[in-house]
Amino acid sequence: MQQVNLGIIGGGTVGGGVFQAVQRNGALMASRLGVCLRVAGMAVRDVHKKRAVRIPPALLTTNWLGVVRDPQVHLVVELMGGTTTARTVALTALRLGKPVVTANKALLSAHGEELFAAAQQYGANLYYEASVAGGIPIIKVLREGLIGNRITRIYGILNGTCNYILTRMKFEGADFAEVLADAQRLGYAEAEPSLDVDGHDALHKIGILASLAHGFWVNPKQIHVEGIGSITSLDIKFAGQLGYTIKQLSIVKPLERAANRGPAMDGSRVQVTVYPTLVPNDHVLASVNHVFNAVLVRGDIVGDTLYYGRGAGQDATASAVLSDLADAALDLKCGTKSRIPPFVPHERAGAVVPIGEVVSRYYLRLDVVDRPGTLARIAAILGRARIGISSVIQPEGHEGDSVPLILMIHDANHAAMGRALARINRLAVVKSPAVMIRVENFE
């Protein structure tokens, strides 16, 4: 049986999980593939560090370059994280003609175009199933399963930390800071949680999916992102009364004029955003709770498809890496180093729609003085901006100098809403800046 030797770069949670998974299910994979996977070396920062997974000391080294250049290593697995040394590792391997498997979404988000170009130039391949949504095989879905479809919508719950926090806030009525502290204690959130709760982890992931779906590499700097730190238990309560659940939603949505164009769709403009969103309670994504991820993909032929599972963690990520190892091993076995190119830029003239042009419905919560004429003054500002109000709630029983006022707003673009809110926030009857959350109808 043909043997493929792996050089793993990174021995942390994911690296250890992949090593353990290869030992556990390597024989099963060999029986299915006709190829035996063997770990030939693992580069780590500290060979003496105590690890949750026992790795034979003879495999460990601090010299990643030696592992990558080793002629006995056929396939390089980059699991170290970060975007500096990891970039050098991947480029070095590709220049040697060695395929690379990575779980590094930040690396792909920042340097994807460069890495894909190197893979093509040097006749290697780059595999990255584990970079988005952990154990959910969403990269394969877009690259293979739905290759005959024009993708008209992607909606993703792509960060387990955010989803865990919002789930507990909904079911327990707890505040953001309290649940975040619990998430850190339980290991669902990092000690420095900003990458997750500010939306940047999801930004990396949705940028990759948008690029695959629409054929032009999305610059992460063009993706509008908002975190969940401003969401309060009060907003979750009012959303529930209105029939919604708040989720951190990653959205890819081409303008309608682009969705109906010819096969090349040159020049299409696509919304790529990450922000808290009111999701109708009867929609399937409203039921995705705790640390689970889900991605809804709509194709023009297949319709709506849903992919659900654990989006992070040692085992979920290791499962996705094993899938890439299987593909890479089969490619090496058959001598087809680029059976499926890592990325095909088939729509080079595509562009991300600026957030100011993105149209949505909105939930507004205002803290206002409870006196006659307050609503009329607010409605007048929205009316002059040609923004319609679909419903109003002013709950009873609130004590103090101000009361909450909830407005549900018809479709309006972000720029118009921003200008209107700036005027509303300057009103003397408005006691604090308005809270604005978008509402998705999934049409």
What's phi and psi for 180, nearest 5 deg? -60, -45
205 as an active site residue: the answer is: yes
The tokens of 320 are what? 């996705």
CA distance 279 to 267: 30
CA distance 407 to 409: 6
CA distance 109 to 242: 37
| Active-site hit among 105, 205, 247, 253 | 205
Burial pattern 258-276, b for ≥16 Cβ within 10 A else e, equals bbeeeeebeebbbbbbbbb
* Upper half-sphere CA count for residue 198 (Cβ side, 13 Å): 6
Measured CA distances, 397 to 2, 179, 435 (Å)? 74, 27, 21
User: Residue 376: which residues within 8 A CB-CB, separation 6 or more?
Assistant: none
The answer to whether residues 270 and 353 touch, using CB atoms and an 8 Å cutoff, is: yes
The answer to whether residues 142 and 205 touch, using CB atoms and an 8 Å cutoff, is: no
The tokens of 351 are what? 């562009």
CA distance 430 to 424: 7
The tokens of 359 are what? 């149209």
Report, as residue numbers or ranges, the catalytic residues.
205
